[in-house]
Amino acid sequence: MSGPSAADGGRVTYWRVLFVVSATLLVLALLCFAFGQAPHAVLARAFAGTWGTPYGIGQVMFKATPLLFCGLAFHVAFRAGLFNIGAEGQLALASLAAAWVASKLPASVPAVVALPATLAVAMLVGGGYAAIAGVLRARFGVHEIIAGIMLNRSADVLLPWVLAAGLGADSMRSADIAQGARLPRLDFIPGLHGSAASLAFPLAVLCTFGLYLWLDRSRAGREMRWIGQGPDACLAQGVEVPRRRIEAMCLSGAVAALGVTGTVLGYKGYYELGLGSGAGFSGIAVAMLGRAHPVALVSAALLFGTLAQAGLAVNASVPKEAMAVLEALVILLVAGSAHGDRARRARPGRAKPPAPDAPAEPSLDAPAEGAPSPGSTA
Amino acid sequence: MDGLLLELVKVSRSFGATRALHELDLRLSPGRITAIVGENGAGKSTALRLCAGELAPDAGEVRVGGRALHPARPEEAIRRGVGLVHQHFMLVDGFTALENLVLGAEPMRGLRIDFAAARREACALAERTGLEVDFERRAGELTVGERQRLEILKVLYRRARAVLLDEPSAVLAPSEVGELYAALRRLADDGATVAVVTHRLDEVVRFCDEALVMRRGELAARTPLGAERPPELVAELTRAIMGREPPAPLGRPAAPDPGPEPVLELGGVELRDAAGRRLLDGISLALSAGEIVGVAGVDGNGQRELVRVCAGLERATAGTVRVGGRDPFAGVHPGPAAVRAARRAGLVVVHEDRQREELVLAASLGDNALLGDLGAGHDAERVARRLARFAVEPATPRLPAQALSGGNQQKLVLGRARDRQVRALVVSQPTRGVDVGTARRIQTALAEAAAAGAAVLCVSADLSELAALCHRIVVVRRGRIVCELPPDASEDAFGRAMLGVEAA
């Protein structure tokens, strides 16, 4: 990752992570008291169920995989100044499509063909579904948040209908996928035996680093970033703003679709209704927490994965919803601290947009044309 | 009105790595109009904003009426009687002038706003100060001059005894400038403290009592302006501002022989907004190679739209733009494709709002130098050439564009524009908010472009700039060219044409 603004933004983010983690631990302690449990015992159990054992680590990676893909998806769109809230629907539709295609493949098809084909279908469906919001935004000015929410709802309705009417499934699940389309588990690592971790997690990490690099180096990636930072200047200088916006949205949807690797292809072996749901929204928080740097993004995904897995581990003594409370808390804290940054930056009367180190990201609540108009330069 | 003394005592303030003020001592006394002048980045606006509590000092003390301003917040400054009028108006367009006036300080009657009382007070205030505004009209419908008067009334309505104005005259016609200072004079005579940050030195010499010259965040000179105001004072102030000899006056290139065919030709260009109002109303203009034509007018009379049509960002609802006899926009949708079509035809445009329309402030200088040309190859050489063309400082490609002063940002913008193949150059407000030295450099660059055979159309609010640079000047009002004047026409003649006042 190059560029001074990115590096400095990263520093700020690590402090934010530290703050968020300590606040989260504090609230966890309070929750434990509320359920009549000793916090240290709950914490010990949570730790044992996550990072304390190889099995736990594997489970954290499994939980983190869709989160990382969806976080990465959100990040891609956000760099171009777009708020892809529709990852949820994109991932769900892509999962169903991938599972259906993979289940139709003959058992004899080797993995080198089956896997890429399945992934291609998933990315096409995810990207295509996102493209609807992208085109509406770029050509007709429909806000992508509104479109994204509507498309999520549409997917909610579409999925059971397609499963029941289209595929004739009698339960709310697809047929089993062909052996060739399955992603290898990380079973061969002795400690991880039994966990749901598959090659999907390393693949997600690889994608994260690759995509960050691409955003920084490629022509399309750089132009997307500029559009996110200054759409008016880009338009006036002849950068294809509408086209790049649509591309960014499609790419975002395609990346979200890759979340299918962790759930369908790496674990279940089929798609069932609700599989992987929630990742699209949690991915937004992951991206906001870790947008500055690929390492931060992976860490944020692991943090949320840890919380989810810890919830299962402590479920016997503290309901796992306690961890959902913590997750919500993290989202609030992240949003709050991001707002704090913006408020400081937007303090009235800054003579010059001063700091070369001010994080240069599109604002969360103004992903549209609302470019900040900095004060005069006297 | 009691006097309110504003003091900055050894005040320092930095923005990130940029030091805006360094141990500045400044006094703004009641009963007079104090001008604060200096180059871009000298810290003038920062000083004003510290006085108004919008910024807190890193070190030193801001004193209002002898007591430290604490906490350093705008609310506290307003409570203590300090009012700041921003360069960019902060009005709610959909509200009436009266609603804007009382916004945040509404006189209440029970749970309702007492508009009758507000109107009484507003009218009394307007009468006392001579700042006339139609209070019933929506702010969006007011003229620029009225909007500014409303901004001043807003701070007076909040009982300000010190009125600070940031670049108040930048958007006004000459006669409006006179009215503005007449009103400020009445305030000062009434005992108010009036301070004005401005780039226009002729105004300072004509209307102000004292000039504080700032250089690099420090006070460089304090020049009382007595009864005697020789014209040399402007040159003297310029020297103090720059800290060296002022640049030689600009030599206008000789008027070219009109060629057989104009290079840039606007034929009856009309632009309507969605509601059908004519923003441009039959603009016809022909520029020969080597000719510099100025466009004067009060801001908001179609200049911006004219430039956007030339750029290909708006499609003229009627009429054509021709470059070398051909319409570059034929069969192209307005937008990026049209922008590139114009550029291929040699029509290069520099927009007025350089921080929004020309630069991506958060992106690096290198990225900005390549904006719109990515993928054409030779990136490194292109960046180096464009930064070097007008000596952008610092010429560090990795630095974000927002770290540059306004003048250097403009040098980058022009370096990028001139590096493209230019047959016709349309520039808007090329030196707005740019310091004297850089402004001269930019004007010279425009003259050089013309000398090299380009047709140059220059939209500017600065009449002296147009007079020095252009071969002829057209005046626009309400989207129409109302007249064409020679560059040596009197300021008065321009003022009348701009405001639509019949010649006396």
Burial category of A336 from C-beta neighbours within 10 Å (exposed 0-12, middle 13-18, buried 19 and up):
exposed
Hey, is the C-beta of B281 within 8 angstroms of any chain A C-beta? no
Of the partner residues B15, B374, B399, the one whose CB lies closest to the CB of residue A223: B374
Q: What is the pLDDT of residue A166?
A: 73
Mean pLDDT for chain A overall: 81
Query: What's the whole-number mean pLDDT along residues A350-372?
Result: 39
* A142 vs A344 pLDDT, higher one: A142
Whole-angstrom distance, CA of residue A303 vs CA of residue A374: 36
Q: What distance in Å separates residue B493's CA from the closest CA in chain A? A: 30
More confident site: A184 or A68: A68
pLDDT digits (tens, 9 = 90+) for B484-504: 999 888 888 888 888 887 544
Sequential DSSP letters for A254-300: HHHHTTHIIIIIIIISS-BTTTTTTHHHHHHHHHHHHTT-HHHHHHH
- The pLDDT, as a whole number, for residue A363 is 43
The CA distance from B257 to the nearest CA of chain A, in Å, is 32
Given a cut of 50, whether residue B132 has pLDDT beyond it is yes
Contact between B367 and A222 under an 8 Å Cβ cutoff? The reply is yes
Contacts of residue A222 in chain B, CB cutoff 8 Å?
A: 367, 374
pLDDT digits 0-9 by tens, B433-443: 787 788 888 99
Is some CB atom of chain A closer than 8 A to the CB atom of B374?
yes
For range B55-69, the mean pLDDT: 91
Q: Give mean pLDDT, residues A356-363.
A: 40
Q: Which helix (H) or strand (E) covers residue B25, if one does?
A: strand B18-28
Nearest CA in chain B to A232: B357
CB B417 within 8 A of CB B409: no
Residue B362, chain A, CB below 8 Å: the answer is: yes
Phi-psi region for residue B456, left (φ > 0), alpha (ψ -120 to 50) or beta?
Answer: beta
Q: How many CB atoms lie under 10 A from the CB of residue A178?
A: 20
pLDDT surpassing 50 at residue A356:
no
Q: Is the pLDDT of residue B51 over 90?
A: yes
For B219, phi then psi, to 5°, come to -80, 115
Which phi and psi (to 5°) does residue B159 adopt? Answer: 65, 35
Mean pLDDT of B147-154: 90
B393/B178 Cα distance (integer angstroms):
37
For position A2, what pLDDT does the model report?
37
8 A C-beta contact, residue B263 and residue B479: no
Residues B452-460 have a mean pLDDT of 93
Confidence of residue A342 (pLDDT cuts 50, 70, 90): low
How close A128 gets to chain B, by Cα (Å)? 24
> Chain A residue with minimal CA distance to B37?
A378
What confidence tier does A366 reach under pLDDT thresholds 50, 70, 90?
very low
Q: Which residues, listed in sequence order, are joined to residue A328 by a DSSP beta bridge?
A: none
Q: Say which residue, A368 or A122, is predicted with more confidence.
A: A122
Q: Do B359 and A230 touch (CB under 8 A)?
A: yes
Tell me, yes or no, if B74 comes closer than 8 A to chain A by beta carbon. Answer: yes
Closest partner residue to A229 among B46, B335, B362, by Cβ?
B362
Lowest mean pLDDT of A238-242, A250-254, B198-202, name the range.
B198-202
> Which residues have C-beta within 8 Å of that of residue A228, sequence separation ≥ 6?
A78, A79, A80, A81, A82, A361, A362
pLDDT of residue B341: 94
- Taking contacts as CB-CB distances below 8 angstroms, the residues of chain A near B311 are 236
Q: Write the pLDDT tens digit of every residue in B407-440.
A: 889 999 999 999 999 999 999 999 887 877 888 8
- Asked if A376 lies within 8 A of B374 by C-beta distance, the reply is no
- Segment A332-337 shows an average pLDDT of 72
Residue B10 clears pLDDT 70, i.e. is over it: yes
B343 at the A interface (CB within 8 A)? Answer: yes
Interchain contact, B349 vs A376, CB within 8 Å: no
Helix (H, G, I), strand (E, B) or coil at B150: helix
Within chain B, which residue ranges are assigned CATH 3.40.50.300? 6-242, 264-499
Question: Which pLDDT belongs to residue A352?
Answer: 38
For residue B242, what pLDDT is reported? Answer: 81
Residues of A with CB under 8 A from a CB of B: 3-5, 219, 222-223, 225-226, 229-230, 232-243, 347-358, 360-361, 371, 373-378
For residue range B76-127, list pLDDT tens digits in order: 999 999 999 987 788 898 899 999 999 888 888 888 888 999 999 999 999 9
At residue B405's C-alpha, the angle toward residues B244 and B33, to 5°, is: 65
Rounded to whole angstroms, what are the CA distances from A112 to A98, A135, A182, A263?
16, 33, 11, 19
Q: Are B290 and B256 in contact (CB under 8 A)?
A: yes
> How confident is the model at residue B502, as a pLDDT?
55
| Whether A235 and B367 lie within 8 Å, measured CB to CB | no
Q: What is the mean pLDDT of chain B?
A: 88
Model confidence pLDDT, tens digit, residues A183-200: 888 777 777 777 788 888
pLDDT exceeds 90 at position B266: yes
Residues of chain B contacting A373 with CB distance shorter than 8 Å: 88, 353, 355-356
**What's the confidence (pLDDT) of residue A369?**
38
Residue of A nearest to B369 (CA): A237
pLDDT, one tens digit per residue, over A93-127 is 999 999 988 888 888 888 888 889 999 999 999 99
Predicted confidence at residue A341, as pLDDT, reads 55
| B20: confidence class by pLDDT, cuts 50, 70, 90 | confident
Quick: pLDDT tens for A25-42: 888 888 888 888 888 888
- Please give the backbone phi and psi of residue B265, each rounded to the nearest 5 degrees, phi first: -135, 120
What average pLDDT does this structure show over B20-29? 91
Percent of chain B with pLDDT over 70: 97
- At A170, is the pLDDT very low, low, confident or very high (cuts 50, 70, 90)? confident
pLDDT at A265: 84
Which pLDDT score, from 0 to 100, does residue B141 have? 83
pLDDT at site A324: 80
| Residue B316: predicted pLDDT | 92
**Residue contact A378–B349, C-beta within 8 A:** no
The domains located in chain A, with CATH, are 4-343 (1.10.3470)
Indicate the pLDDT class of residue A13, thresholds 50, 70 and 90: low
Distance CA B436, CA A153 (A): 59
Q: Which CATH superfamily is domain B264-499 in?
A: P-loop containing nucleotide triphosphate hydrolases (3.40.50.300)
Q: In chain B, count of helices (H) and strands (E)? A: 16, 21
Burial degree of A373 (CB within 10 A; 0-12, 13-18, 19+): exposed
Q: Which among A219, A230, A350 has the least Cβ separation from residue B374?
A: A219
Q: How many A-B residue pairs are in contact by the CB < 8 A criterion?
A: 162
pLDDT at A72 over 90: yes
B6-242: what fold?
A: Rossmann fold (3.40.50)
**A233/B360 touch (CB, cutoff 8 Å), yes or no:** yes
